[in-house]
């Protein structure tokens, strides 16, 4: 029996998704959904729509408020999840657990952004969604509708954070914040990069020794952004010749985390050195986890090196 278009696979990216020739997608990890809740440490969470017509939404996390000072203003942490612009969501167990831990430890408000992903949507959709979501957060400085933000958020202390592709989004949001207004009178305070996903046409560091690993990262970029100018597009290679200077980074402080056994480590180190020498007026801290793999702190949060990262994040936020 001949197969029809509903059965024919156009792109097989198991274990994450399968794209069929008729355009429909089977997302194989979407059953990993954790509902918002009140956890034993007193962290509350809820889901909100930001741009309903595009499906852009967020999960908000509010720590247990101090009974003696319930109106104290808290740092606002905006999180962009990783997953190669293809998979993971703001509502999966991995992200929910990680943000709950940060909110518990740092006593901050967190906003975890759920943006459009490949293959249903190609870049720059994710960048556009995350910028719109950041502006939505900033709009609450004027007392917009979400009370967790408008009543408890400190809009002088907004920090963006992301891991892997989310770290790439952090860079692009911070650069855009250096060119455009996030919100009236609102500026980014900090940016935390967790093993950011960068690449480039010319191999650097361990990319020379492991060309197949480099090729995987290169392929994801070219696949998810069909209109890109290539691997030296400044959105994926921030230190490309002719790209905008990192002196335009629109935040005052940076925490950059890299892992010793991560193929992306060397690009993170180059970013760190280029930022320091760019003329940017902020302060940058580098944290390297020796002997560890890419985003190990998400998948193995009880590891000793993962427990070292958390106090650095908490200190940075406070």
Tokens of 166: 């989310």
Active site residue 233: no
Please tell me the predicted confidence (pLDDT) of residue 4. Answer: 52
Non-local (6+) Cβ contacts of 270 within 8 A are 204, 239
Q: What stretches of the chain show up as alpha helix (H) in DSSP?
A: 93-106, 125-139, 147-152, 165-179, 206-209, 211-224, 265-277, 296-299, 304-317
Torsion of CA 166, 172, 174, 179, to 10 degrees: -160
Tallying the residues shown for the chain, one arrives at 318
297-304: which pairs have CB atoms within 8 A and are 24 or more residues apart? Answer: 297/194, 297/257, 298/82, 298/94, 298/98, 298/163, 299/94, 301/97, 301/98, 301/101
Q: Six-digit token pair at 202?
A: 């010319």
Q: Out of 164, 171, 233, 289, which one is annotated catalytic?
A: 164
The pLDDT value given to residue 1: 37
Residue among 96, 262, 289, 297 flagged as catalytic: 262
Note whether 154 and 109 are within 8 A (CB). no
The question of whether 121 is a catalytic residue gets the answer no
Query: Hey, how many other C-beta atoms are within 10 angstroms of the C-beta on 49?
Result: 12
User: Out of 81, 96, 140, 294, which one is annotated catalytic?
Assistant: 294
The whole-angstrom separation of Cα 240 and Cα 92 is 34
The reply to whether omega before 67 is within 30° of 0 (cis) is no
Long-range contacts of 307-315 (CB under 8 A, 24+ apart): 309/257, 310/101, 310/102, 310/105, 311/105, 312/255, 312/257, 312/285, 312/287, 313/102, 313/105, 313/106, 313/161, 313/192, 313/255, 314/102, 314/105, 314/106
pLDDT for the residue numbered 2:
42
Backbone CA torsion sign across 235, 262, 211, 276: positive
pLDDT per residue as tens, the chain (318 positions): 344 556 899 878 787 778 888 888 887 777 789 999 998 889 999 999 999 999 999 999 999 998 888 889 999 999 999 999 998 999 999 999 999 999 999 999 999 999 999 989 999 999 999 999 999 999 999 886 899 999 999 999 999 999 999 999 999 999 999 999 999 999 999 999 999 999 999 999 999 999 999 999 999 999 999 999 999 999 999 999 999 999 999 999 999 999 999 999 999 999 999 999 999 999 999 999 999 999 999 999 999 999 999 999 999 999
Model pLDDT, residue 12: 83
Q: Which three-class secondary structure state does DSSP give residue 236?
A: coil
Whole-model pTM: value is: 0.94
SS3 25: strand
Q: What is the DSSP letter of 29?
A: T
164 an active-site residue? yes
């Amino acid at each position: 029996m001949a197969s029809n278009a509903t059965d024919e696979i156009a792109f097989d990216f198991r274990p994450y998704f399968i794209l069929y020739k008729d355009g429909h997608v089977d997302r194989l990890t979407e059953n990993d959904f954790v509902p918002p809740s009140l956890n034993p440490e007193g962290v509350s969470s809820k889901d909100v729509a930001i741009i309903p017509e595009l499906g852009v939404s967020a999960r908000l996390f509010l720590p247990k408020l101090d009974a003696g000072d319930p109106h104290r203003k808290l740092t606002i942490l905006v999180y962009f999840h990783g997953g190669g612009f293809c998979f993971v969501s703001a509502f999966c167990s991995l992200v929910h657990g990680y943000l709950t831990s940060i909110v518990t430890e740092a006593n901050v408000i967190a906003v975890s952004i759920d943006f459009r992903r490949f293959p249903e949507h190609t870049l720059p959709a994710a960048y556009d969604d995350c910028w719109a979501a950041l502006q939505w957060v900033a709009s609450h400085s004027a007392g917009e509708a979400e009370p967790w933000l408008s009543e408890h958020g400190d809009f002088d202390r907004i920090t963006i954070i992301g891991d892997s592709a989310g770290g790439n989004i952090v860079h692009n949001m911070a650069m855009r914040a250096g060119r455009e207004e996030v919100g009236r009178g609102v500026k980014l305070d900090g940016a935390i990069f967790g093993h950011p996903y960068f690449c480039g046409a010319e191999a650097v560091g361990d990319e020379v020794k492991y060309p197949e690993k480099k090729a995987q990262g290169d392929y994801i970029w070219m696949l998810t952004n069909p209109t890109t100018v290539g691997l030296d597009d400044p959105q994926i290679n921030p230190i490309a010749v002719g790209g905008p200077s990192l002196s335009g980074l629109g935040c005052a402080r940076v925490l950059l985390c890299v892992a010793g056994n991560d193929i992306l480590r060397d690009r993170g180190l180059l970013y760190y050195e280029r930022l320091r020498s760019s003329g940017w007026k902020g302060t940058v801290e580098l944290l390297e986890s020796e002997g560890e793999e890419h985003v190990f702190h998400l998948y193995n949060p009880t590891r000793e090196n993962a427990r070292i990262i958390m106090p650095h994040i908490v200190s940075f936020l406070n």
